[in-house]
Structure 1
Amino acid sequence: MSPTPYLELEGVAAHLGERRVFDNLSLRLNLGEHAVVLGPNGAGKSALVKLISREIYPVVQQDSSLRLFGDRTVNLWQLRQRIGLVSSDLERLYNPRVCANDVVLSGCFGSVGIGRSQTPTPAMQQRVAELMDQLGLLELAEERFGHLSEGQRRRLLIARASVHKPDVLVLDEPTNALDLKARHQLLELMRQLSCGGTTLLLVTHQIEAVIPEIQRCVMLKAGQLMADGPCDQVLTSPNLSALFETPLQLLSANGYRQVLPG
């Protein structure tokens, strides 16, 4: 059976603010295939995430298309139920005074925070409690978001993104600003999520964040697809050196990878 795509880009051009990020990008990402989009700052990673979440739209032009789950037109509410997103942009949107429980609960409504007109159902409350328990966050339920560590906030946003049991979980630079302990805890959580039936899309510039379960590597450089294929074939010292424009040596141990100066 052929794989089922959740994202199909054909000859896409797109802008991020005033900057034209993509001119002719074609890419297909499939359900059930954990993948990493790897590239330096300015490569177009953030723009790709925003195309997936429909925060930006491609330039309308002939022979160009963007499909999500096979459709050109997307209901945003339905999309938020099928694709969970964790990003630093989302983290910055939250009021630091909101309690941790309400951060996760807001995912049920696809909102940032809980509005006066939004009344959580018992089923929603139960789902949130279950997720926070699974992710070791239950004791933090009443803590203010701004009082939590970076690692706790990141796990909280993963819980928020998981409330609808999405088909795809997009993790945009999830290990940024984490200390070693928090980073290792998050990587272990990612490994657990990868075995739970949700397709992971990791978007990062950090090789160390690529967990062993990631099967495919897409390298982006200056808005262009530089390489795409199985991690074992694409993640090499020459490719990484070309991608980041600096000599690099790739080391591997226990399924993880690390880079040293070449």
Structure 2
Amino acid sequence: MIEFSNVTAFQQQTRVLNRFSLTISEGERVAILGPNGAGKSTLLKLISREIYPVDQEGSALKLFGCERVNLWQLRSQIGFISQDLQDDYTPYTRALEVVISGFFGAIGMHGHLQPSPEQVEHARDMLRSVDMEGMEDRMFQRLSTGQKRRLLLARALVHGPRALILDEPANGLDMGSSLTMLSLLRRFCGAGRSMIITTHHIDEIIPEIDRVVLIKAGELVADGPKSEVLTSQHLSELYQADLQISQQDGWYRCWHG
């Protein structure tokens, strides 16, 4: 599904990834874990084509087997959720309009975008699926952070994508909102779809995630089955701290040793 081969990428004038390689197959559910500044968000921006890699010999970035990607097709195949996307919506966008805008790959609705009655009804169904029924006319600014994140999830799912990619999905949420969001993500995994989550909190790694990738300073430092990668040794080295890891019913917890 996604293949990074010796990819180098910059954010403004800073080189974030240097000759980075990673392959994720369709159907996999992967968590990418690392400290702030490790390059997690840059990876997702490369996938969504918000930024592009350096054009150099021996380097390639392929999505679904292709280096050249039709952005409209990409948006229907992969649903994206990020803090940047949340920040891009204007305060007066109605909740239903946020979901409908996913059909057009737009940020909000504009005069030239005319959804069909079927699209409007499907958007209402998606609101119900994220427990926001009856809130279709609520302005974006009137929603809590947790509600905004669930609304973006409905927007991402409106196409029935093959994969869902989330940049720190529970970041900034209170405990109740975080648990609700993670529960919705577990429901998505139940349909057998692909998922990629970036985070630096292991308690956001839902039990359905079966592979974990650790990155630091733009380099891959560990990659493999969750049980083999989420260890006290690996995470202590990743975060340069004495960390202890425990696991219960597929959920992992971390504390300072």
> Per the shorter chain, which TM-score range?
over 0.9
Instruction: State yes or no: 1:163 paired with 2:162.
Output: no
Instruction: State yes or no: 1:99 paired with 2:111.
Output: no
- Provide the residue aligned with 1:31 in structure 2: 26
Shift of 1:209: 0.2
2:194 corresponds, among 177, 199, 217, to: 199
Secondary structure in 2 matching 1:214: coil
Deviations 1:171-210 (A, max 9, x none): 1101011111111111111111111232111111111100
Mapping for residues 141-152 of structure 1, pairs under 5 Å:
141-152=136-147
Q: How many residues align?
A: 257
Q: Which runs of 4+ in 1 moved over 6 A?
A: none
- Provide the residue aligned with 1:64 in structure 2: 59
- Provide the residue aligned with 1:90 in structure 2: 85
Secondary structure in 1 matching 2:134: helix
Instruction: State yes or no: 1:126 paired with 2:124.
Output: no
CA distance in structure 1 between the partners assigned to 2:174 and 2:146 by the alignment: 8
- Provide the residue aligned with 2:71 in structure 1: 76
Mean CA deviation greater in 246-255 or 113-122 = 246-255
Deviations 1:131-182 (A, max 9, x none): 1111111211110111111111111000000011111100110101111111
1:20 corresponds, among 15, 23, 29, to: 15
Shift of 1:28: 0.2
Instruction: State yes or no: 1:255 paired with 2:250.
Output: yes
CA distance in structure 2 between the partners assigned to 1:229 and 1:261 by the alignment: 24
CA distance in structure 1 between the partners assigned to 2:72 and 2:52 by the alignment: 17
CA distance in structure 2 between the partners assigned to 1:144 and 1:231 by the alignment: 40
Name structure 2 gaps, 5 residues minimum: none
Shift of 1:123: 1.6
- Provide the residue aligned with 2:43 in structure 1: 48
- Provide the residue aligned with 2:233 in structure 1: 238
1:113 corresponds, among 105, 108, 124, to: 108
Query: TM-score scaled by structure 2?
Result: 0.99
Deviations 1:72-99 (A, max 9, x none): 1001111111111000000000001111
- Provide the residue aligned with 1:3 in structure 2: none
Secondary structure in 2 matching 1:67: strand
Deviations 1:211-230 (A, max 9, x none): 00000001010000000000
- Provide the residue aligned with 1:223 in structure 2: 218
Shift of 1:30: 1.0
CA distance in structure 1 between the partners assigned to 2:107 and 2:119 by the alignment: 16
CA distance in structure 1 between the partners assigned to 2:218 and 2:130 by the alignment: 35
Deviations 1:238-257 (A, max 9, x none): 10111111111012122111
Letter in 2 for 1:80: R
Query: TM-score scaled by structure 1?
Result: 0.97
Letter in 1 for 2:136: A
RMSD, aligned α-carbons: 0.7
Deviations 1:37-56 (A, max 9, x none): 00000100011010000011
- Provide the residue aligned with 1:9 in structure 2: 4
- Provide the residue aligned with 2:134 in structure 1: 139
CA distance in structure 2 between the partners assigned to 1:136 and 1:246 by the alignment: 39
CA distance in structure 1 between the partners assigned to 2:141 and 2:241 by the alignment: 37
CA distance in structure 2 between the partners assigned to 1:97 and 1:258 by the alignment: 39
Letter in 2 for 1:109: F
Name structure 1 gaps, 5 residues minimum: 1-5
Deviations 1:46-75 (A, max 9, x none): 110100000111111111101000001001
Percentage of matched positions with identical amino acids:
44
Letter in 2 for 1:206: H
